[in-house]
Amino acid sequence: MRLAQFIDLVDQDRYMAVVCRILSRAGVTVAGCPLWISPYVKWDIAYPGVITVGDRCVVSHDVVLLTHDFSLDRVAELKFGRSDREVVFRGPITIGDYAFIGQRAIVLPGVSIGPGSIVGAGSVVTRDVPAGILVAGNPARRISTTDEFWERRHERFVWQDRGTSRSSRGRYRLAQDGGDD
């Protein structure tokens, strides 16, 4: 059974408990209880202990967390010839408490996402994101503070009960089809 299929069989809390256990065994430091981690996150766990995931954070669909970079190895071999050694840059990734990483974002080695920060969908994060900052783009740039974002946008969002996201997707499909809930 794929992890994604498991989600439909259990509630979000049980799913997250299993995900946290799997990540811990794979070498990810789980500091607290993340709110949501998509089953489609691409974890670079070649070096155990270099990714830390904070409490109540969200890591969305197709996020890539890269902890190493071999790109300069090609340059080194071209410059100095073949060697039994390789050139690699390794760096930890930290996702702070209450941080949110949007769909298809890429986080590069050595980056910390500060507590309460937001990384926009599709962003490429090349440097640290301070606490409470919204970043987006390629490369990711500061857009605003999360407080400023809240003031500009909170009226567009809808409050819903926790744990209803799966049923909300069903309601969304019904609304698209012209049905009613």
pLDDT digits (tens, 9 = 90+) for 54-80: 999 999 999 999 999 988 899 999 999
Distances in whole angstroms, Cα of residue 101 to Cα of each of 37, 49, 75, 128, 135: 10, 20, 32, 13, 10
CATH number at residue 77: 2.160.10.10
Q: How confident is the model at residue 10 (pLDDT cuts 50, 70, 90)?
A: confident
Examine residue 167 and state whether it is found in any structural domain, yes or no.
Answer: no
**What was the pLDDT predicted at 158?**
87
Query: Is residue 176 a part of any domain in this protein?
Result: no
d(CA 19, CA 34): 10
More confident residue, 172 or 28: 28
Answer for the pair 69, 109: CB distance below 8 angstroms, yes or no.
Answer: yes
Domain range for 99: 3-158
Mean pLDDT of 87-116: 97
Work out the mean pLDDT of the chain and round it to a whole number. Answer: 87
pLDDT at 172: 33
pLDDT score recorded for residue 165: 58
Instruction: Flag whether pLDDT at 175 surpasses 90.
Output: no
pLDDT score, position 180: 41
Residue 6's pLDDT band, with cuts at 50, 70 and 90, is low
In-domain check, residue 95: yes
pTM for this predicted structure: 0.83
pLDDT score of 178 more than 90: no
Tokens of 121: 């969908």
From the list 5, 14, 86, 78, the residue with the least C-alpha distance to 40 is 5
In contact, 55 and 34? CB cutoff 8 Å: yes
For residue 168, tell me if it sits in a domain: no
Structural domain tally of the chain? 1
User: What integer is the mean pLDDT of 125-147?
Assistant: 99
In a domain, 146, yes or no: yes
Q: Does any domain span residue 181?
A: no
Residue 84 lies in a domain: yes
Residue 83 covered by a domain:
yes
Q: Which residues contact 2 (CB under 8 A, 6 or more apart)?
A: 39
